[in-house]
A and B are shown apart, each in its own frame.
Chain A
C-alpha cells in the first residue's frame, strides 16, 4: 500500500497502541532486576536478589511445582476426554449432538466466578479442597472447550480419503486411527495440549477457591499482591512471561496456527 499520510497516521496510532499493550510486560523486567529493597522506579541498580528470593523460598517453589503438575494433569485429561469428544461432535450422527456441542463450549460462556463458586460448594462437601487432582478436574472443565475447538477445526480439514485408503490397504479401524488419523492431527493435538496447559497454569479464580492452603502459583501471587507489592512478584512475572513465550514458539513451530482459530 502506498504511504499515504492517512496510512502513516494509522501506523503511528497503532504503534502507540502496541506500546500500550506491551508496556506492562516490559515494565516487570527492570523491576525484577532492581537492587532496591522495595519497589522503586527507575531501579537504582541491577541485582538478582528477587530471583534468588523466589528460588530460595520453598513456598514459591512448591506453588510453582503445583502449578506445573496441575497444568500437565489438566492437559493430559483434557486431551484424553476432549479428543474423543471432538471426534463425536464432528463426525457423529446421534440424537442430542447439538446439545452436547453446546455443553462442551458452555464453560467458556459461563462466567468463571460462577463456575468457581459452584465447584467450591461441591468440593467442600466432597473434601476435594486443597487436592491437586480436584483442581485438575475443575481446570479440565475450563480447558475442554479449547481442546474441542482446536481439534474440531483440525478434523474438519481432514481428508477422509486417507482413512479410506488406509482401510482399503488392510488397516482395521483402530490401526487407521493410530497410524494415519492421529499422526496427521498432531499439530492440532500439540496446540490443544499446550493451550490446555497454559490455561491451567495461569488460572487464578478457580484456584483461589479450590486450592486451599496448597497454593498454585497464581494464588500465591494474588495473596502476595494483596498484602504488598513485593518485587519478588516481578521476578515471578518475568518467569511466567518467558514461559508463555516459549509455549507460543512451540505452538508456532509444532502446532496448528492460532491464526486459523482467529477466523
Chain B
C-alpha cells in the first residue's frame, strides 16, 4: 500500500509547503539583494551596532546552551536511572513546562523577576536583601527565561542517551573496582556523548532564533537577531535589511546543523 513509485499522496502537502513555505521564504530572502548589491549585508555585518547584535545573540546562545547542559544533564541522568514512578514524575515536571505556552512561561517570569516581583518581595521581606535585585529587562532575566524554556530540549536527548547505556557495562565497571565517580566519568559520560551533542545543538540553534523571551524579558535592552528582525519589519518597515538579517540567521542555523551532522555522523543516530 503506497509503496509504489508514485508520489501522489505526498502531493497536497508538498504543494502547501511550496506555496506557503519555500516560496515566501525565498522571496523574502531575495529582498536582501535589492538593487542587485550586497549593501544590506554590508550593513548587517559591517556596522558596529548590528555586529554587536549578532555577537550578542551568539554569546547568549552559547551561554544558554552551557547552562542547559549543566542543569539538564543531571536531570536526564536521574530520570533515566531511577524507578518508573520517579521517572514518570520527572517527565511531568519536564513535559508540562515544555508544552505550556512560551508566552505563559515568559509572563510568569516577568511576575517573578520584577523589581516588585515575587522573588524580590520574598527576599526583602525575609530580610535577606535590602534592595531589589534587577533581574528583569536585562541580560540575566533573558538568560533565566531562555534557560527555563530550553531546558527540556536538553533533558530529553540526554535521557534517551543514558537509557541506551547497557547496564551490564556499568556493572562490569563496578565489578572491576570503579568508584561511582569514576563510573560516571569513564563510562556514562563517553557513552552519552551523542545525547549531549544532540541536545546542545538543538538548544543552541533554538536560542539563535529566539524571539518572545528576549522581547518581553529584555525590555528593549537585550537585542537579539530575531527581535531586531521584527523591529525592522514592523516599525522601520525596512524589508531589505530585515531580509539580510534573516539570511544571516538562516545561514548560521544551517551551518550549525551541517557541522553537527558531520560530527554526529560518526556516532549512532540519537
User: Measuring CB to CB, which residues of chain A are less than 8 angstroms from any residue of chain B?
Assistant: 1, 4, 6-7, 10-11, 13-14, 17-18, 20-25, 27-28, 31, 39, 41-42, 80-82, 84-85, 87-89, 91-94, 96-97, 100, 103-104, 106-107, 109-115, 117-122, 137-138, 140-141, 144, 163, 173, 176-177, 181, 198, 201-202, 204-205, 208-209, 218, 221-222, 225-226, 229, 233-234, 237, 240-241, 244-245, 247-248, 258-259, 262-263
Contact = CB atoms under 8 A, between A and B. Distances in A.
A141 B112 CA distance: 34
B111 A141 contact: no
A198 B99 contact: yes
Contact of A244 (B7, B99, B163): B99
Contacts of B250: 110-111, 114
B129 interface: no
Contact of A24 (B29, B148, B230): B148
Contacts of A106: 17, 21
Contact of A122 (B6, B24, B106, B121): B24
B97 A225 contact: no
Contacts of B212: 204-205, 222
Given A24-B97, A94-B5, A204-B212, A88 B10 contact: yes
Interface string B212-254: 1000100000000010011001000001001000100110011
Nearest to B83: A1
B21 A258 contact: no
Contacts, number: 258
A112 B209 contact: yes
A141 B1 CA distance: 26
B52 interface: no
A104 B13 contact: yes
Interface in B77-130: 77-78, 81-82, 90-91, 93-97, 99-112, 114, 116-118, 121-122
Given A21-B152, A103-B22, A109-B257, 17 more contacts: A14-B74, A17-B75, A18-B75, A18-B93, A24-B109, A41-B122, A92-B9, A94-B7, A107-B21, A118-B25, A118-B29, A119-B24, A173-B1, A202-B99, A234-B107, A237-B108, A263-B163
A114 B105 contact: no
Interface residues of B, number: 88
Contacts of B101: 201-202, 204, 218, 237, 240, 244
A254 to B, nearest CB: 16
Interface of B: 1-10, 12-14, 16-17, 20-25, 27-29, 31, 71, 74-75, 77-78, 81-82, 90-91, 93-97, 99-112, 114, 116-118, 121-122, 148, 151-152, 156-157, 159-160, 163, 180-181, 205, 208-209, 211-212, 216, 226, 229-230, 233, 239, 242, 246, 249-250, 253-254, 257, 270
A32 to B, nearest CB: 10
B interface: dominant SS: helix
Contact of B100 (A7, A41, A240): A240
Contacts of B24: 115, 118-119, 121-122
A21 B151 contact: yes
Contacts of A112: 209, 211
B111 A262 contact: no
A56 B151 CA distance: 36
B103 A221 contact: yes
17 contacts: A17-B74, A18-B75, A21-B152, A41-B111, A80-B12, A89-B10, A92-B4, A107-B21, A111-B209, A114-B229, A119-B24, A121-B27, A140-B20, A205-B211, A234-B111, A237-B101, A247-B99
A122 B27 contact: yes
A96 B28 contact: no
